[in-house]
Structure 1
Amino acid sequence: MKFLRAVRLDDSDDQVFLASAKAGEPVVAGSFLWAFSDEDPAGFRGRRLNAFRSGFLGTVDFGHCTLAAVGDITDLEYKQLIERLAQYMVDHYGAPSLVAALPTARAEAEFAAGLCDRDPGHFIALEREVVLGEISESYRSIDPGQAWQHDSTPVFRIVADDANAEDPTHD
């Protein structure tokens, strides 16, 4: 199954978000963060504002990333991320129980999977804003095979960095 995964082209996500998603981590739009929050996005500043405006939500450590890429996920990973999202909603957003949170978590995962109607490797970016008191989201697809080349020579390529996976000092 296709699903969104965090992309880390550099360490800028570490600078703009309170916590950043790890490269390759499955991510969702995270719309529930703002829908269930008692906070008014108009009062957000700094890193919180950056997460609101353009952050996908990681489903492992719940950090944010600016870009996601269409990738693959196993059925087991998909089921586990829904359960983690539901538990996160209970622990941090007042859902009364895991059972009550599961439909919202499932909807969040289904929405993320629905953004993956492109070839693997496509980048997806999101932009959030408040329009007439409502949160509005828009998504943009970037084909790295077309957008990131100059004279048919790739400018850069994504490299999985497993070296930092177990390093507790690396965010």
Structure 2
Amino acid sequence: MKLLRCIRFDDSDTRVFPRAAAPGEWAVPGTFVFADADPEALGRQDRQAFANGFLGLGSFGRSTLVTVATITPEEYEATVTALAEHLVDHYGAPDQASAEAAAREEVDYAAALCEHPINTLLSLSRFIEGEAIREQFRVVPPPGEKLHTKIWEITPDG
């Protein structure tokens, strides 16, 4: 099985989001958080979370990038349970069974995004289109073998 895992290359997530997800947390897109929100009325950090943030399932903070990773069935179920508890505690899910069904749907959706090789990086762009929130996921290509341009060459005297 595969699922999204938060990754961080620098500390920018700690500055741009209200709460940054920790590297290594399992993640889902988490668009449900913004279902009733008016993005124009959000503060700067919340607007950034709306526009680009995956939801980490440990801290329930945001991550700009995620990577495709292997997850065990036990970890998968624990992730569903953690999200379900969060839905009850913070989003008013009517009962644990409803929360678990919604959480499983969200985690299954995230798993469906993992049709890429392990360690593939993904980014998210979220925007309003008409009355709906739309998501676009992009594969972030790894840097090429040449990270720098050669600006000189040493040649033997001769």
Q: Given the two structures, how large is their TM-score scaled by the length of structure 1?
A: 0.82
Contact kept in structure 2, 1:8 and 1:23, CA below 8 Å: yes
2:33 counterpart of 1:33 = yes
Flag structure 1 segments of 5+ consecutive residues without an equivalent: 154-171
Gaps of 5+ in 2: 149-158
Aligned to 1:50: 48
Give 2:31's aligned amino acid.
S
Residue 73 of structure 1 pairs with residue 71 of structure 2:
yes
SS at match of 1:120: coil
Residue number in structure 2 paired with 1:105: 103
How far has the Cα of 1:127 moved from its partner? 0.5
User: Residues of 2 paired with 1:63 and 1:12: CA distance?
Assistant: 13
Name the count of aligned residue pairs: 148
Aligned-partner Cα distance in 1 for 2:18–2:45: 6
Note if contact 1:87-1:101 (Cα within 8 Å) is conserved in structure 2.
Answer: yes
Q: Is the 8 A contact 1:56 1:64 kept in 2?
A: yes
Write out per-residue CA displacement over residues 116-139 of structure 1, whole angstroms, 9 at most, x where no aligned residue: 101111101000011112101111
TM-score (structure 2 length as normaliser): 0.89
Partner of 1:85 in structure 2? 83
State the identity as a percent: 39
1:149 aligns with 2:147: no
2:3 alignment partner, SS class: strand
Larger radius of gyration: 2
The reply to whether residue 129 of structure 1 matches residue 127 of structure 2 is yes
1:152, CA displacement in angstroms?
7.3
Q: How far apart in 1 are the matches of 2:105 and 2:31? A: 10
Q: Matches of 1:136 and 1:95 in 2, distance apart? A: 23
* C-alpha distance in structure 2 between counterparts of 1:86 and 1:136, whole Å: 23
1:116 pairs, out of 114, 117, 121, with 114
Provide the C-alpha distance between the structure 2 equivalents of 1:29 and 1:151, rounded to a whole number of angstroms: 32
